[in-house]
Structure 1
Amino acid sequence: MFKSFLIIALISIIVIQSLSFVLDVPILFSFTMSNSMEPTIGTGDFFIVVPKFFISDIRVGDIILFYNPKYDFPVCHRVVGLTDEGYITRGDNSPFTDQQAGIPPIREEHIIGKVLTFQGKPILTPKLGLLILRIQLMIKGYTLPLALGLAVLGAVSLVTGKEYKLKKRKRVFKLKVRYVFIGCLAFLVFFTALLMVSKSQTVEFKYLATDLPTHGYIIMLGGRSEWSIIVNNTSLIPFYIYVTPLTDGLTTENESLGLVMPGAGEEFKLQIRAKNKIGWYTEKAGVYLYIAILPEDLVKKLADIHPYAPILMTTFAICLPFTLVYFIIEERDRVVRIKLGREKWLKELERQLKEALL
């Protein structure tokens, strides 16, 4: 029983990680590919990431996952200092900070989340990341076809009642269709909302208000300056991008909502009006991303009411068809028997697991 549970949990993690690869957003789990955090986190160690949306604050000593602002790839390092420009980070296996190596201080918009710890130590599964990486490489390019194939097979099985039997069966799981649908729907709601929330962020612009002519981050007292925010869509699905001022010194110049296709980007321009007193000031703008399935006008109206309103409506729109299917199916209380056997794919999975853990 424990072995079967472990296999199902492992497959679930692989599916989630594959989705995160397709959508270009880290989802709850990650693993290291270097020894920079040894001995705390070893190469290939698998750990849990708490998204920054759920973090109240980040302190010195916390281990965070962030995008390297210089090369734009995820890094897992420890916070060792805090400055006005951002966080100072360093790998436990290095005597030098990332900033001494030329990486700018890590700002809030670069942070993905914080590594989950217990009594100061990260919760790890040693070397599991190596197995996940191997399997992702094995199915690279086939993630979406495999997912669609499994979905179609499951739908046909539920509607027709036909059972697909595996040879040499040893394990039988019995689940009601009702519980399968409720579980899948809950996961879909959580995943959809988390995807949009995790991609949203707050960006900052620091400037010096002075009596000198406006140039770069220097703005004349009471004067105006333009601030451009470029947002790229690196995922494989289209997004609406909504930019709104969060401080009184900002106003939008162009449309605050734009549809950005995969691989494309959108530039949003804001006007900064400097204070009338000499000093350093910070202006903030919110950048929110919504999966593009609703009409653009509706998304704009909802976003103007509250930036998270389109997230709720989009999640509802995605889950509505599945909910209708659930009520259409008459045999909601029918028991689905899932039979697992030692087939070739299972043997190969066990072999990969043994190789990764050795």
Structure 2
Amino acid sequence: MGLRRVGTLLGEAALVVFLVSMVLGQVLGQPVLLGFVTSGSMEPTIETGEGFVAIPAEIAGPVEEGDVVVFRAEEIQGGGLTTHRVVEETERGYVTRGDANPFTDQDGGEPPVSEAQVVAVAWQPGGAVVTIPGVGAAVTASQDAFGSVQRQLAGLFGTRSLLGTQGVAYLLLSLSVAGYLLDLYLDGERGRTRETERDTGVSLHLVVVVFSAAIVLSATAAMTVPAGPQTFDIVSAETDSPGPRVIEQGTNDSVPYTTANGGFVPVVRYVEPVSDGVDVEPREVVVGPRSSVNGTLTLSAPPETGYYQHHVVEHRYLLVLPQSTIRSLYLIHPWLPVVVIDALLGGSFYAVGVAVGNSGRVRTRTRDGPSRFDRLRTWLR
């Protein structure tokens, strides 16, 4: 294999990683491998529109002072994902500030950032953030394209299920299956009229890998989009006064905690408190397709009066493995069941695709003999 071929393969691999990162980030609503900033608050470290390597918080480990983090803000620009630097760590959370800002976010009214709010940490080898120009424009363009397609399809089919991040998962799954079946059909038609001994065309393995990646993205979205950290605001008051979550100091209050599953595959849900004064029962529950299960959320008010936040993290997994197996994987690391389930689904699709194709290339012209489409029909019989 020549150097030019190696360079081409590396370029293609980098492009695939970039595109998958953008799509997965769109599906999950948070940066995956690549993030970007939309304002100048982090200049000159990160210019407006520049991207950076975003390491998921679950992998990055404990946040330290000086780290540039992506967190779910509550007050900054109306709330949403914000990329700023941690300048101090306190008992109530992290103090953050944009490198170009003269004051901290907390001076401007943002509550201290809790561990549960941090979704990613910027890669800083040697203490400097690695930046990538142009990522912001590319991601914004992909988001606009997905949004436009979703709105048109939702209007065509008269359903809102194709909107939002869950709709992206449905689109990816539908396109992967439809594209693969169409390729089989067209290749079968070509095989009836053309013949050649040349092994040209696109690698069948590459085609199946692309479709398997779409399956993995869809499964990941189904498990992670409805889950994640949740924040519950309370007011610890001298008396149990009327108002949303106003609790008498030193006491607790219980409210319903509903877990809904809008998909067609049952899921197992786990809830883990990540701050004091909050608990959910049951912490593990199976939710059937298109159904919901009620639990109990207990919120405790500290002895001191004031405004407080309690946090829990919810994890969901498609019940395609025995529940006991998922539980064992979850106890090792919450992301391990996602990896194993993705590998099972993506690997199974890849194995079936290669077995049905029974060829190393997807040819523009095929040799004599039964086509893959004919073999698929024979196999289905």
TM-score (norm 2): 0.61
Match of 1:177 in 2: 204
Residues 67 and 112, structure 1, Cα contact 8 Å, conserved in 2: yes
Residues 249 and 274, structure 1, Cα contact 8 Å, conserved in 2: yes
Query: SS state of the match for residue 147, structure 2?
Result: coil
> In the TM superposition, what is the alpha-carbon distance from 1:23 to its structure 2 partner?
3.9
Query: SS state of the match for residue 105, structure 2?
Result: coil
Match of 1:343 in 2: none
Q: 1:50 to 1:190 in 2, by over 3 A?
A: farther
Question: Identity across aligned pairs (percent)?
Answer: 22
> In the TM superposition, what is the alpha-carbon distance from 1:120 to its structure 2 partner?
1.5
2:99 corresponds, among 71, 92, 96, to 92
Q: 1:1-358, aligned counterparts within 5 Å?
A: 6=11, 9-10=14-15, 12-70=17-75, 71-142=78-149, 148-149=174-175, 151-158=177-184, 161=187, 176-178=203-205, 181=208, 185=212, 192=219, 196=223, 200-201=228-229, 220=250, 225-226=252-253, 241-244=269-272, 252-253=280-281, 256-257=284-285, 259=287, 268-271=295-298, 287-292=313-318, 299=323, 302-303=326-327, 306=330, 308=334, 311=338, 314-315=341-342, 318-319=345-346, 321-326=348-353, 328-331=355-358, 333-336=359-362
Residues 227 and 269, structure 1, Cα contact 8 Å, conserved in 2: yes
Matched residues in 2 for 1:214 and 1:301: separation? Answer: 44
Matched residues in 1 for 2:174 and 2:126: separation? Answer: 42
Q: 1:125 to 1:95 in 2, by over 3 A?
A: same
Matched residues in 2 for 1:156 and 1:37: separation? Answer: 47
Q: 1:86 to 1:232 in 2, by over 3 A?
A: farther
Deviations 1:172-213 (A, max 9, x none): 9966434654676578658856985795459799999xxx99
> In the TM superposition, what is the alpha-carbon distance from 1:311 to its structure 2 partner?
3.8
The AA in structure 2 aligned to 1:142 is V
Query: SS state of the match for residue 62, structure 2?
Result: coil
Q: 1:240 to 1:285 in 2, by over 3 A?
A: farther
Match of 2:372 in 1: none
Residues 257 and 280, structure 2, Cα contact 8 Å, conserved in 1: no
The AA in structure 1 aligned to 2:285 is L
Structure 1: gaps (5+ residues): 165-171, 339-358
TM-score (norm 1): 0.64
Matched residues in 1 for 2:79 and 2:141: separation? Answer: 23
The AA in structure 1 aligned to 2:315 is L
Q: 1:50 to 1:246 in 2, by over 3 A?
A: closer
The AA in structure 2 aligned to 1:60 is E
The AA in structure 2 aligned to 1:152 is A
> In the TM superposition, what is the alpha-carbon distance from 1:108 to its structure 2 partner?
0.6
> In the TM superposition, what is the alpha-carbon distance from 1:316 to its structure 2 partner?
5.7
Match of 2:373 in 1: none
Q: 1:193 to 1:19 in 2, by over 3 A?
A: closer
Query: SS state of the match for residue 104, structure 2?
Result: coil
Q: 1:318 to 1:30 in 2, by over 3 A?
A: same
Q: 1:64 to 1:140 in 2, by over 3 A?
A: same
Matched residues in 2 for 1:27 and 1:178: separation? Answer: 25
Q: 1:334 to 1:30 in 2, by over 3 A?
A: same
Higher helix content, 1 or 2: 2
Query: SS state of the match for residue 66, structure 1?
Result: strand
Query: SS state of the match for residue 59, structure 1?
Result: coil
Structure 2: gaps (5+ residues): 151-167, 191-198, 365-381
The AA in structure 2 aligned to 1:322 is F
Matched residues in 1 for 2:44 and 2:276: separation? Answer: 47
> In the TM superposition, what is the alpha-carbon distance from 1:94 to its structure 2 partner?
0.7
Q: 1:265 to 1:108 in 2, by over 3 A?
A: farther
Residues 64 and 77, structure 1, Cα contact 8 Å, conserved in 2: yes
Structure 1 residues 189-198 or 173-182, which shifts more?
189-198
Match of 2:196 in 1: none
The AA in structure 2 aligned to 1:39 is P
Matched residues in 1 for 2:315 and 2:259: separation? Answer: 11
